[in-house]
């Protein structure tokens, strides 16, 4: 494969942006080699600047549930461009969009649109603190809630990929308001509530973690969080930036039957455009300005272009609920095929999957939390990643990021991917 154009662009980009990228995991640091510069996408495929094509299992890190350039999204964006790109004022589009989100996720009674998952989680935490008058926040090791100062403690995603313990630049006083606990540990959560109970403003959790690779909750874990937060008057925040509208129209909270107090959404609700949201119980959300004293604002919030893309996405999902069954079936076939290939090649692989998000962990042991995820052989993952790339399959360039399937991936794409995996594993 020829990567000369990507290489030349990377040379130049490194003079312009830290590490040559605008978000760290893209730099391919943990898998070696230079990052690909992407020229375009179509359906399940992306094409790099050298014209190489790949089956895309990153999907812009989750948003592209319908694949690249879905006709409904593209058409909506065309229409939106005709009316204007930003007003900094309310629009009818926002009303339909927020109404659809609320219908799909009934725990959300009032919501606010923002521009990124980071903004959504940062704002949700602020509201939870404003509502409870408390400061402590419980998060889980290996979960990533954007680059919010106080949530960068033992964070997943790029922080895990690069092995950065806790980000420099975050004042110690901010980190001191965070209690980081092992994901899936009932004992740790019970102990934290025994010790700090009445001081904990919020528990924030990815109900299915995507940012240390895919790690589903142990049976009863989310229920325990709901029970303890109810008992102590703590706000339970589900960070569904990855799982919202991906695991089901109603997100992980629908799949697991738990009603959080607040939810953060992003990724899929924008269909590839920069938009996110936070919302939940009206009693909590009515603390947000201008109704209440918790301040949060944004000129581009509810931007008509982003809302149009998101609306087209949500309408399509509502009109085609069969997409979820199809994703489940194809993701299951892919993961089963890869598991069989690994067994045949005598390779230790643990595959975690929730619906259309999954991770191939290079470890023989179950991966249930950050500690067990970190036991994976990241060098083996890097070889796997590069072998697949050379065979036209694009996985996340990190052991600690989930891979995503889109509705545009066909049965044939799945078969081709399994063949590519067999070839790669045969190489060692
Ligand atoms: N933190 C994102 C995935 N969990 C990666 C974002 C990006 O590099 O674009």
Q: Which one of 157, 270, 276, 402 would you pick to mutate in the ligand 1 pocket, going by the greatest count of ligand atoms within 8 A of its CB?
A: 157
Average pLDDT over residues 106-134: 98
Residue ending a domain, among 57, 72, 97, is 57
Average pLDDT over residues 93-99: 97
Taking only the tens place, the pLDDT of each residue in 195-229 is 998 999 999 999 999 999 999 999 999 999 999 99
Q: Do both 169 and 246 map to the same domain?
A: yes
**Per-residue pLDDT at 317:** 97
User: From residue 247, how far is each of 119, 176, 376 by CA, in Å?
Assistant: 22, 33, 25
Residue ending a domain, among 279, 297, 319, is 319
Q: Do both 154 and 16 map to the same domain?
A: no
Structural domain contains residue 196: yes
How many angstroms does the Cα of residue 173 sit away from the middle of ligand 1?
26
Structural domain contains residue 116: yes
Average pLDDT over residues 333-355: 97
Structural domain contains residue 82: no
Q: Do both 110 and 35 map to the same domain?
A: no
Average pLDDT over residues 404-411: 98
Helix 304-319 × helix 92-104 angle, to 10°: 40
Residues 123, 23: Cα–Cα separation, whole Å: 21
Structural domain contains residue 102: yes
How many angstroms does the Cα of residue 200 sit away from the middle of ligand 1?
28
Q: Which domain holds residue 48?
A: 1-57
Q: Do both 51 and 131 map to the same domain?
A: no
Residue ending a domain, among 302, 319, 336, is 319
Kindly report the protein residue whose alpha carbon is nearest to atom 8 of ligand 1. 23
Average pLDDT of the chain is: 96
Please give the angle made by the CA atoms of 322, 110 and 265, to the nearest 5 degrees: 50
Atom of ligand 1 nearest to the CA of 62: 3
Structural domain contains residue 315: yes
The sheet that has 262-265: what strands, in order across it? 110-114, 276-280, 262-265, 235-240, 200-205, 136-140, 178-181
Kindly report the protein residue whose alpha carbon is nearest to atom 1 of ligand 1. 157
Q: Do both 135 and 30 map to the same domain?
A: no
**Per-residue pLDDT at 290:** 98
Kindly report the protein residue whose alpha carbon is nearest to atom 6 of ligand 1. 23
Q: Do both 153 and 289 map to the same domain?
A: yes
Q: Do both 117 and 230 map to the same domain?
A: yes
**Per-residue pLDDT at 281:** 98
pLDDT score of 174 more than 90: no
| CA-based torsion, 314, 318, 320, 323: positive or negative | positive
Per the structure, the count of domains in the chain is: 2
Residues 208, 242: Cα–Cα separation, whole Å: 9
Taking only the tens place, the pLDDT of each residue in 266-308 is 999 999 999 999 999 999 999 999 999 999 999 999 999 999 9
Average pLDDT over residues 128-152: 94
Structural domain contains residue 242: yes
Q: What CATH number has the domain bearing residue 209?
A: 3.40.640.10
Share of the chain above pLDDT 70, in %: 100
Average pLDDT over residues 238-242: 98
Structural domain contains residue 265: yes
Atom of ligand 1 nearest to the CA of 61: 3
Q: Do both 226 and 142 map to the same domain?
A: yes
Give the residue numbers annotated as catalytic, written as ranges: 144, 239, 267
pLDDT score of 13 more than 90: yes
Atom of ligand 1 nearest to the CA of 156: 4
Q: At 321, list the tokens.
A: 């609920």
The answer to whether the beta carbons of residues 128 and 202 sit under 8 Å apart is yes
Residue 169 confidence class, pLDDT cut points 50, 70, 90: confident
What are the pocket residues of ligand 1 if the criterion is a CB atom closer than 6 Å to any ligand atom?
23, 25-26, 61, 144, 157-158, 211, 401
Q: Do both 120 and 169 map to the same domain?
A: yes
Q: Do both 186 and 238 map to the same domain?
A: yes
Distance of CA 3 to the CA centre of its chain: 28
How many angstroms does the Cα of residue 290 sit away from the middle of ligand 1?
32
Q: Do both 15 and 109 map to the same domain?
A: no
pLDDT score of 156 more than 90: no
Structural domain contains residue 74: no
**Per-residue pLDDT at 428:** 76
Q: Do both 212 and 107 map to the same domain?
A: yes
Q: At 236, list the tokens.
A: 């339970």
Average pLDDT over residues 354-381: 97
Least confident among 35-44, 70-79, 150-159, 345-354: 150-159
């Amino acid at each position: 494969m020829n990567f000369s154009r990507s290489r030349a662009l990377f040379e130049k980009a490194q003079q312009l942006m830290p590490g040559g990228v605008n978000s760290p995991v893209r730099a391919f640091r943990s898998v070696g080699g230079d990052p690909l510069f992407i020229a375009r996408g179509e359906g399940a495929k992306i094409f790099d600047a050298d014209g190489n094509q790949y089956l895309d299992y990153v999907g812009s890190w989750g948003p592209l549930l319908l694949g690249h350039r879905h006709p409904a999204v593209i058409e909506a964006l065309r229409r939106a461009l005709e009316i204007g790109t930003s007003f900094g004022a309310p629009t009818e589009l926002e009303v339909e969009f927020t109404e659809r989100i609320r219908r799909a996720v009934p725990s959300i009674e009032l919501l606010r649109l923002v521009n990124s998952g980071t903004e959504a989680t940062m704002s949700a935490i602020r509201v939870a603190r404003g509502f409870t008058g408390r400061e402590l926040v419980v998060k889980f090791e290996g979960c990533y809630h954007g680059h919010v100062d106080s949530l960068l403690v033992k964070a997943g995603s790029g922080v895990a990929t690069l092995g950065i313990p806790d980000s420099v630049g975050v004042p110690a006083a901010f980190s001191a308001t965070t209690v980081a606990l092992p994901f899936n540990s009932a004992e740790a959560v019970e102990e934290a509530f025994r010790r700090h109970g009445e001081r904990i403003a919020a528990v924030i959790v990815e109900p299915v973690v995507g940012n240390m690779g895919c790690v589903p909750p142990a049976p009863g874990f989310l229920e325990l969080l709901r029970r303890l937060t109810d008992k102590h008057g703590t706000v339970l925040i589900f960070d569904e930036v990855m799982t919202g509208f991906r695991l089901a129209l109603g997100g992980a909270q629908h799949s697991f039957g738990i009603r959080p107090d607040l939810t953060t959404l992003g990724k899929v609700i924008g269909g590839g455009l920069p938009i996110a949201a936070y919302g939940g119980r009206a009693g909590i959300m009515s603390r947000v300005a201008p109704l209440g004293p918790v301040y949060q604002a944004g000129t581009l919030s509810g931007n008509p272009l982003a809302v149009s893309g998101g609306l087209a996405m949500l309408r399509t999902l509502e009109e085609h609920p069969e997409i979820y069954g199809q994703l489940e079936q194809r993701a299951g076939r892919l993961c089963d095929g890869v598991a069989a290939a690994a067994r045949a090649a005598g390779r230790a692989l643990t595959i975690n999957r929730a619906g259309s998000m999954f991770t191939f962990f290079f470890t023989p042991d179950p991966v249930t939390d950050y500690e067990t995820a970190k036991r994976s052989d990241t060098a083996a993952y890097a070889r796997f990643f590069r072998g697949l790339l050379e065979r036209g399959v694009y996985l996340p360039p990190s052991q600690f990021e989930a891979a995503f399937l889109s509705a545009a991936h066909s049965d044939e794409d799945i078969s081709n991917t399994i063949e590519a995996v067999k070839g790669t594993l045969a190489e060692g």
